[in-house]
Amino acid sequence: MEVIRTDIEGVVILEPRIFRDARGYFFESYSEREFCDKVRTVRFVQDNESCSSYGVLRGLHFQKPPHAQSKLVRVIEGAVLDVAVDIRRGSPTFGKYVAVELTADNHRQFFIPRGFAHGFSVLSPRAVFQYKCDNFYAPQSEGAIAWDDPALGIDWRIPAADAVLSDKDACHPRLADIESPFDYAENLYL
């Protein structure tokens, strides 16, 4: 596994080593030992999967402490633009984001640490999206920011008129209008 560092510390892209032959391909999609050695020590406790069609935009979501989550995400069918936004108060990259295209063909994975809002837009006719979480889902700890917050300036690579949103995702507040529950100076993994 190759770890590709991004402009925001802790947010990384993972590229697996793929073995191809006449039968197809094989790769190790996750190794706890290698992940903890190369990225950070994380114990994933829940796997989720979603299936969406072109234009679906999910996000930007996070869970508040003590139920904050890291996510390791990948696409097994289709293509998405995946986005992580730094929402840690006091962070030198607060309000900045990293976006990466994840596809069934490139097999890349994206690690979003605790303290980030996460979302994705579907670029292909259909996408199957999988993610590992290091904390269980807790509905009482849900938080979110607006996908179209102009201060973030995210290019979701789909026309805004084509964005298919849930009722909840259509009305989240802007980043400037929330009090982030994350502090850059705190260790979010204790």
pLDDT digits (tens, 9 = 90+) for 118-130: 999 999 999 999 9
Q: Mind listing the pLDDT tens digit for each residue in 49-74?
A: 999 999 999 999 999 999 999 999 99
User: pLDDT band at residue 13, thresholds of 50, 70 and 90?
Assistant: very high
User: pLDDT band at residue 48, thresholds of 50, 70 and 90?
Assistant: very high
Sign of CA dihedral 33, 129, 77, 10: negative
For the chain, state the CA radius of gyration: 16
Q: What is the average pLDDT across 81-105? A: 98
Active-site annotation, residues = 61, 131
Q: What's the whole-model pTM score?
A: 0.95
| Res 43 pLDDT > 90 | yes
Fold for 2-183, please state it: Jelly Rolls (2.60.120)
pLDDT score for 143: 97
| Res 190 pLDDT > 90 | no
Give 3-state DSSP helix, strand, coil % of the chain, rounded to 5.
10, 40, 50
| Averaged confidence pLDDT in the chain | 97
